[in-house]
Amino acid sequence: MNVKELFLTQKQTEHQGTMAVYGKIPPDRLAWRPAEGVLTLGQMARHVWLSEQGFVRTAIEGDWGYSERRIPQGLLAVLGEVTRLEDELNQLQRVHEETMRAAEAFPLELWNEIRENPKFNLRWPAGVILFRIIEHQVHHRAQVGTYLRLLSGVRASPYPL
């Protein structure tokens, strides 16, 4: 298995787990947060797909546009308003499918090509950026699972009991 195949396999598996956990968010609790100043459940879902979309462009095209907006303006400035869980889940699915197609089409010999942004002192191989998308998704999936446990007392995990 090469690095591209590993990415595609891992991305698909983790996406299924993420959808399982995010699907447990009560639609009427999108604005819930455990403390002031942290993302709501809905904002967490929005953040995951927006950042994935932005970092796929960085990895595949060398386009740092998402980071160029996100870093100086702050996360809340780029999120926009979250209104319906169904919309966020649909966007998570759409972006995942776009990521899978883009990664599949991305030539294996370019996975080590460096993507650099001197303005923010960022320098990563394209493949590392793609794998960090998975890491980021799992990180926030765990947060959502914890939020849901605090909110309802029910375990929200992608894993069987």
pLDDT, position 157: 83
Is pLDDT of 158 > 90? no
pTM equals: 0.94
- Predicted pLDDT of residue 17: 95
pLDDT, one tens digit per residue, over 89-120 is 999 999 999 999 999 999 999 999 999 999 99
Q: Long-range contacts for 83-88 (Cβ within 8 Å, ≥24 apart)?
A: 83/30, 83/42, 84/27, 84/30, 85/22, 85/25, 85/27, 85/30, 85/42, 85/45, 86/27, 88/22, 88/30, 88/42, 88/45, 88/46, 88/49
Write the pLDDT tens digit of every residue in 23-55: 999 999 999 999 999 999 999 999 999 999 999
Domains of the chain: residue spans and CATH: 3-26+40-152 (1.20.120.450)
Q: So what's the pLDDT on residue 22?
A: 96
Look at residue 161 and tell me whether its pLDDT is greater than 80.
no
